[in-house]
A and B are shown apart, each in its own frame.
Chain A
Amino acid sequence: GAVVSQHPSWVICKSGTSVKIECRSLDFQATTMFWYRQFPKQSLMLMATSNEGSKATYEQGVEKDKFLINHASLTLSTLTVTSAHPEDSSFYICSATWGEVLTDTQYFGPGTRLTVL
């Protein structure tokens, strides 16, 4: 099956620093990638939708200047959390798909656990 990787798997940073998380589709070209955030014991909340070569579409309430998304190629999307604060500590998960976004399966990465001190 399709494989999506994320790097790093976990990261601890100081408040005020920036953190970059990579999402890669290893064996397919992802036309669309999605970024989710999940707080403990809660559901996955979509942050943004990323299409290769175009600007990301952010969900309501998600600050695009704080969560920078770059989808530079069909196999790589990055999420940069700028000026991170403790409330940004969360589990960040990407997913990727190709073809028809309305029906095709989304494949999830293993997630990145961010802890901001």
Chain B
Amino acid sequence: GQSLEQPSEVTAVEGAIVQINCTYQTSGFYGLSWYQQHDGGAPTFLSYNALDGLEETGRFSSFLSRSDSYGYLLLQELQMKDSASYFCAVRDHQGGKLIFGQGTELSVKP
């Protein structure tokens, strides 16, 4: 089966950089995705890594190491609006369903 581990919560200050790690175990790997979810809202797609390396999209970057079954989401120049839950997710090889980690609650302080 699939399982993902990520820290339950992270706190940082405005303007700082924060890294949210995710380790996974899968039978068949079809990439690691990251989603952001504000309280009461729906998940919003942030990034997808299928190959090793760093993907950059504005203030957010995502990294993948398939040999280590590990990835991270890097948030730079943190803003108050970045306070949210962040989920890593992998695809199940049967049917393509997304398996989500438990989520990391990021709190950005002034």
Contact = CB atoms under 8 A, between A and B. Distances in A.
A105 B91 contact: no
Interface string A68-112: 000000000000000000000000010101001111011111110
A57 B97 CA distance: 11
Nearest to A59: B97
Interface residues of B, number: 24
A43 to B, nearest CB: 5
Contacts of B41: 110-111
Contacts of B99: 46
Interface stretch (B43-51, B57-65, B76-84): B43-51
A108 B97 contact: no
Contact of A103 (B30, B97, B103): B30
B42 A111 contact: yes
Interface string A37-63: 000001111100100000001000000
Interface of B: 30-31, 33, 35, 40-45, 48, 50, 87, 91, 93, 95-103
29 contacts: A32-B96, A34-B97, A42-B103, A43-B87, A43-B101, A44-B43, A44-B87, A44-B100, A45-B100, A49-B95, A57-B95, A93-B42, A93-B43, A95-B98, A100-B96, A101-B91, A101-B95, A101-B96, A102-B30, A103-B31, A103-B91, A103-B96, A105-B45, A105-B48, A107-B45, A108-B42, A108-B44, A110-B42, A111-B41
